[in-house]
């Protein structure tokens, strides 16, 4: 999908731009997004659905990486948008993203967030629980405004991924449980409501999934319930949203399916299930985050300190770490990397790449083979486009990196590097702030 290559100078090039030039221009750490890679992936999703001749929506899960430029790109690529907070919704609207193509998720949407969604007339709200449902019924009644909703259910399917990113099992904080009759009850309430329009069902089984079986299982499981709803309440959904979670390649050994294959398999399962009921195939919606932006992102760091422990290990440290990529510390996630300025050289040593935080767990890559590493080299870590910048933080008061988009030999900064001024902008001096009596 991507445009990475080693150029004539033996350097890593992305989108036709020399990564060393990017490092010199914008400084490090730097997130570099290969826009063509994102385009190609969006196109592959579109083509897979078109080939299947079903109505569909591809909603980019903006939690993976959200900023104004990314929302603009998602819109340009004909994607809908999954947001899960008022902040993501605000960013989308600020980018001019069409409200009617925005879907709102979350297990604890606040009354203010629901009101914002209803006022902005977004495309749909994915109702997660009875608390939210009660609020939403009252809100739309008081505003006399209609709102399309999907109902999120937990299909009881294990996605076989890290437990922190697995969401489809019955014991989950997300969605209505299918076995206890709670989903039935929610549907009954929705069908009799004058302002909430139940468009369909949503399930998301987890993330970084390499096999299509989980999605097929989820579709079958949902259809088992649809049979029941059809008999008990004469309800059949217009929309079947199967969520996101399509895996990507982080390191050797990761072998996701081609994107089209996930789509083919889930759509074919839905077609077979619909045919067995003599019903139309619902619109199929998916919500890829990582699969759209993960491999498109590369983080460029500068190498600083080196520590050799004879016979034990060599640590080389970079100028970022868990502040821009918390995934290794949080999920034991694995990554691979090259020296961007000497990408063609053969590997000569094994090093472990440490971040700069005061935290032993701040390690990015263990036992990485590289050419002999020198201070000042550029290290390019691949597949950092999803849940890297979006989970970035200021631990140790480290500044968040800049983000640059590259395409066809051109580059453009889309998020500036944080500054010291940004860091302390919302803070007040203790002595001057004073206490307020109370
Ligand atoms: N839809 C829903 C309802 C979700 O909860 C998620 C992810 C997605 C779609 C997109 O999943 P994706 O296609 O990106 O796998 N921070 C973790 C991932 C958490 C995912 C949360 N929900 C990580 O870095 O792996």
The model's pLDDT over 198-237, given as tens digits with 9 standing for 90+, comes to 999 999 999 999 999 999 999 999 999 999 999 999 999 9
* Separation CA 379–CA 382 (nearest Å): 10
Question: Which DSSP letter does residue 331 get?
Answer: H
Distances (CA, A) of 139 to 66, 120, 131, 196: 28, 14, 12, 10
Q: Is the ipTM of this complex over 0.95?
A: yes
Q: Is 100 marked within a binding site?
A: no
**Pocket, ligand 1, Cβ cutoff 6 A:** 61, 63-64, 82, 105, 165, 204, 207-208, 243-246, 287-291, 327, 331, 386-387
* d(C-alpha 374, C-alpha 220), whole Å: 54
- Which pLDDT band holds residue 86 (cuts at 50, 70, 90)? very high
> CA 324, CA 2: separation in Å to the nearest integer?
22
Q: Is the pLDDT of residue 142 over 80?
A: yes
Instruction: State yes or no: 245 annotated in a binding site.
Output: yes
- The pLDDT of residue 183: 96
Q: How many CA atoms lie within 13 A of 384 on its CB side?
A: 32
In which region does residue 293 sit, left (phi positive, over 0), alpha (psi from -120 to 50) or beta (all else)?
alpha
pLDDT of residue 329: 97
pLDDT score recorded for residue 160:
60
Residue with token string 């909603």: 59
Q: Rounded to the nearest whole angstrom, what is the distance from the C-alpha of residue 64 to the centroid of ligand 1? A: 7
For the record, the structure tokens of 162 come out as 């890290």
Strands (E), 206-272: 239-241
Neighbour-count burial for 212-238, b at 16+ CB within 10 Å, e otherwise: bebbbbbbebbbebbebbeeeeebebe
pLDDT value of position 41:
98
Which residues are tagged catalytic?
A: 358
Task: Determine the average pLDDT of the residues in 370-395.
Answer: 98
CA-proximal residue: ligand 1, atom 15 (nearest): 245
pLDDT confidence tier of residue 172, bands split at 50, 70 and 90: confident
- Identify whether the C-beta of residue 135 lies closer than 8 Å to the C-beta of residue 159: no
Tokens (6 digits) for 111 = 């009354």
* Residue 166: predicted pLDDT: 59
Average pLDDT, the chain: 96
Question: Tokens for 433?
Answer: 């702030």
Domains and CATH numbers, the chain: 5-33+296-424 (2.40.37.10), 54-288 (3.20.20.10)
Probe ligand 1: pick from 38, 61, 127, max atoms within 8 Å of CB? 61
- For 260-318, what is each residue's pLDDT tens digit? 999 999 999 999 999 999 999 999 999 999 999 999 999 999 999 999 999 999 999 99
User: Where are any strands of DSSP class E within 119-163?
Assistant: 124-127, 147-154
* Ligand 1 atom 16 nearest Cα: 387
Whether 72 has a binding-site annotation, put simply, is: no
Q: For the chain, how far is it from start to end, CA to CA, in angstroms?
A: 60
Distance 127 CA to ligand 1 centre (A): 17
The CA 212 to ligand 1 mean position distance, Å, reads 16
Strand 363-370 with 349-354, pairing: antiparallel
Q: Which helix H or strand E contains 30, and what residues bound it?
A: strand 30-34
Pocket test for ligand 1, best of 41, 244, 332, 393 (most atoms within 8 A of CB): 244
Given a contact cutoff of 8 angstroms between Cβ atoms, the answer to whether 390 and 66 are in contact is: yes
Ligand 1 atom 6 nearest Cα = 244
Helix (H), strand (E) at residue 307: strand 297-309
Residue 206 preceded by cis peptide, ω within 30? no
Lowest mean pLDDT segment, chosen from 100-109, 157-166, 373-382: 157-166
Give residue 162's pLDDT: 53
Distance 245 CA to ligand 1 centre (A): 6
Beta-bridge partners for 314: 308
Query: Is 327 assigned a ligand-binding role in the annotation?
Result: yes
- The percentage of residues in the chain with a pLDDT greater than 90, rounded to a whole number, is 92
Measured distance CA(179)–CA(170) in Å, rounded: 9
Cα 290 to middle of ligand 1, angstroms? 7
Closest ligand 1 atom, residue 243 Cα: 1
Tell me whether residue 158 is annotated as binding: no
pLDDT tens for 22-53 read 999 999 999 999 999 999 999 999 999 999 99
């Amino acid at each position: 999908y991507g445009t990475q290559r080693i150029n004539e100078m033996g350097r890593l090039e992305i989108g036709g731009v020399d990564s060393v030039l990017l490092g010199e221009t914008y400084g490090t750490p730097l997130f570099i997004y290969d826009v063509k890679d994102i385009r190609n992936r969006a196109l592959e999703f579109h083509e897979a659905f078109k080939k299947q001749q079903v109505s569909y929506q591809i909603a980019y899960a903006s939690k993976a990486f959200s900023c104004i430029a990314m929302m603009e790109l998602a819109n340009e690529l004909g994607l809908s948008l999954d947001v899960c907070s008022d902040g993501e919704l605000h960013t989308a609207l600020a980018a001019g993203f069409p409200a009617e193509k925005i879907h709102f998720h979350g297990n604890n949407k606040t009354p203010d967030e629901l009101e914002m969604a209803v006022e902005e007339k977004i495309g749909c709200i994915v109702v997660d629980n009875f608390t939210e449902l009660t609020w939403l019924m009252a809100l739309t009644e008081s505003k006399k405004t209609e709102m399309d909703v999907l109902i999120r259910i937990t299909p009881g399917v294990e996605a076989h991924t890290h437990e922190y990113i697995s969401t489809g099992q019955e014991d989950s904080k997300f969605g209505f449980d299918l076995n206890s009759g709670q989903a039935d009850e929610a549907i009954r309430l929705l069908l009799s409501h004058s302002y909430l329009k139940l468009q369909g069902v949503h399930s998301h089984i987890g993330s970084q999934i390499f096999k299509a079986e989980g999605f097929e299982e989820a579709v079958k499981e949902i259809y088992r319930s649809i049979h029941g709803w059809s008999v008990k309440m004469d309800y059949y959904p217009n929309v079947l949203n199967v969520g996101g979670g399509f895996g990507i390649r982080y390191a050797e050994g990761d072998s996701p399916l081609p994107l089209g294959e996930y789509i083919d398999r889930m759509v074919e399962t839905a077609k077979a299930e619909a045919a067995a009921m003599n019903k139309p195939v619902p619109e199929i919606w998916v919500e890829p985050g990582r699969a759209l932006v993960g491999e498109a992102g590369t983080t460029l760091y500068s190498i600083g300190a080196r520590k050799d422990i004879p016979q034990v290990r060599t640590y080389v440290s970079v100028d970022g770490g868990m502040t821009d990529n918390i995934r290794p510390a949080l999920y034991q996630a694995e990554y691979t990397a090259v020296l961007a300025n000497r990408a063609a050289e053969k590997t000569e040593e094994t090093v472990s790449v440490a971040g700069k935080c005061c935290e032993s767990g701040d390690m990015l890559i263990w036992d990485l083979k590289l050419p002999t590493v020198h201070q000042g080299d550029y290290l390019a870590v691949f597949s950092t486009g999803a849940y890297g910048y979006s989970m970035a933080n200021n631990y140790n008061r480290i500044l968040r990196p800049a983000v640059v988009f590259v395409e066809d030999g051109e580059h453009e900064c889309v998020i500036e590097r944080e500054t010291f001024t940004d860091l302390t902008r919302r803070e007040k001096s203790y002595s001057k702030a004073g206490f307020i009596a109370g």
